Amino acid sequence: MKVAKFGGSSVASAHMLRKVAGIIQDDPERRVIVVSAPGKRFDGDTKVTDLLINLGETFLNDEPYEKEIDLVINRFKDITDELELGDKILKEIRQDIHDVINSDYNSELKLDAFKAVGEDSLAKVLSVYLQSIGMQASYLNPKDAGIMVSDEPGHAQILEESFDYLYKLHEREGIVVIPGFFGYTKEGKLITFSRGGSDITGSIVAAGVKADLYENFTDVDSVYCVNPNIVDNPREITSLTYKEMRELSYAGFSVFHDEALIPAFKASIPVCIKNTNNPEGLGTYIVSEKHTSYNPVVGIASDSGFLSLYVGKYLMNREVGFGRRLLNILEDEGISFEHTPSGIDDMSVIIRESNFPKRKEERVVQRIKEELKADTVSIERDLAMVMIVGEGMNSTVGIAQKATEAFANAAVNLEMINQGSSEVSMMFGIKSSGIEASVRSLYQAFFGEYE
Ligand code: ASP
């Protein structure tokens, strides 16, 4: 059995849903289908989830919201009209929206319930469409599928017992269409995952049914080894490990939701990223075992928006607990950190700028100076992290040399070097302005000879 998940752009229009149906028909193993809400059809279009968030906020602000409801309904009407599915399903969607409006949920739960209407309605539309073309298909609500989650609106976590329930999907006849993005608490409250969370549902369902493969259909042929906005026509990655994918998505690879890897990884279900517009393409496989590869580096990732908090104190190396006290201050201030490169008398803490708002800066610096009696405390913003990733790196000599040479060739100064203990990645801190030049130069160094 395969679980196939179709993302927002794959279900954005009737034209795309025809392609989706073709893909489902092509392989009888594709028995469980997970869908997103309709996404953007063109640049500048609005995702249905964003229309729903807007509707929810308008309603919660006590403003007139009829127009916002119509915008949502019209997106589905465009699809159902073209697929000739009649009006019954549109009435049902409108009723679902009014049920949320009239419910006695608090505002957080209401907002989650509004958001869920997008995937829920699309799952209903797709199952009716599949039936209309003669396929045996049915809609299945996540509650009936057994997707049970924690009570954290907008950030649900799956509960372990869900997996056993999901296995029962094997007993169902025909194709099952499940909406992604939400589950239910034990008390029956609807709670959504974080944004982009249909990937998580797909992965949970694939783990639950112990699928042979979790296919994640999107709008790119595969995962590229480097950001295609920086390097033209970069190499496609045909296969990589969960660990490599996790490292890459840390610094800017956004093809697949971060949290979605975990359920598939724990159950050892291979994941395949494929293109709905080119289903014959090979796609990218994410697997648990290291594949033999000619190149120890599988990908180069980069992300800006980091800062470095520098703390210097003479004889820091003799002071037991200095690092803990420094990190305690950050914990106290609710700031999470990424890395802590350190020297004899100094320590830097690398933090995402979004986690360290400017308004906290003065207080944090003051606290470190006073409580830790530090000699120097300074903050450098506007940093970027560039990473090279590959499980083959730990058994290959000369990777760091090749990488640093690439930075030198690009005339980019290195502010920090960090090789994680797992040796799956090597990370370089630079000024944000140097990202493009260094990524191009690294690409040339590690992939140029295979061009
Ligand atoms: N529709 C949701 C979002 O836009 C979830 C998803 O598409 O995966 O975030």
Ligand 1 center to 180 CA (angstroms): 8
**Residue of minimum CA distance from atom 2 in ligand 1:** 196
> For position 450, what pLDDT does the model report?
63
The pTM of this model reads 0.86
Work out the number of other CB atoms within 10 angstroms of the CB of residue 290: 14
How long, in residues, is the chain?
451
Our mutation pick for probing the ligand 1 site, out of 6, 36, 193, 205, counting the most ligand atoms within 8 A of Cβ, is 36
Phi, psi values for residue 69, rounded to 5°: -65, -45
- The distance from CA 37 to its chain's CA centroid, rounded to whole angstroms, is 16
Ligand 1 center to 249 CA (angstroms): 17
Ligand 1 center to 373 CA (angstroms): 47
- Report d(CA 360, CA 358) in Å as an integer: 5
> For position 451, what pLDDT does the model report?
56
- Domains of the chain and any CATH numbers: 2-219 (3.40.1160.10), 299-450 (3.30.2130.10)
- Report d(CA 399, CA 116) in Å as an integer: 46
Our mutation pick for probing the ligand 1 site, out of 9, 11, 49, 216, counting the most ligand atoms within 8 A of Cβ, is 49
> For position 405, what pLDDT does the model report?
97
Ligand 1 center to 118 CA (angstroms): 9
> For position 419, what pLDDT does the model report?
85
**Residue of minimum CA distance from atom 3 in ligand 1:** 196
- Report d(CA 146, CA 152) in Å as an integer: 17
Ligand 1 center to 112 CA (angstroms): 12
Report which ligand 1 atom has the smallest distance to the Cα of 257: 8
- Report d(CA 436, CA 396) in Å as an integer: 26
Query: Beta-strand (E) ranges in 145-185?
Result: 175-179, 182-184
> Which residues surround ligand 1 with Cβ inside 6 Å?
8, 36-37, 47, 49, 118, 180-181, 195-199
Which mean pLDDT values do the consecutive 10-residue runs of the chain (451 residues) have?
97 98 97 98 96 97 96 97 96 97 94 98 98 97 97 96 96 96 97 96 97 95 90 91 86 76 93 95 88 83 94 94 96 94 94 94 96 96 94 89 96 90 88 97 89 56
- The distance from CA 352 to its chain's CA centroid, rounded to whole angstroms, is 17
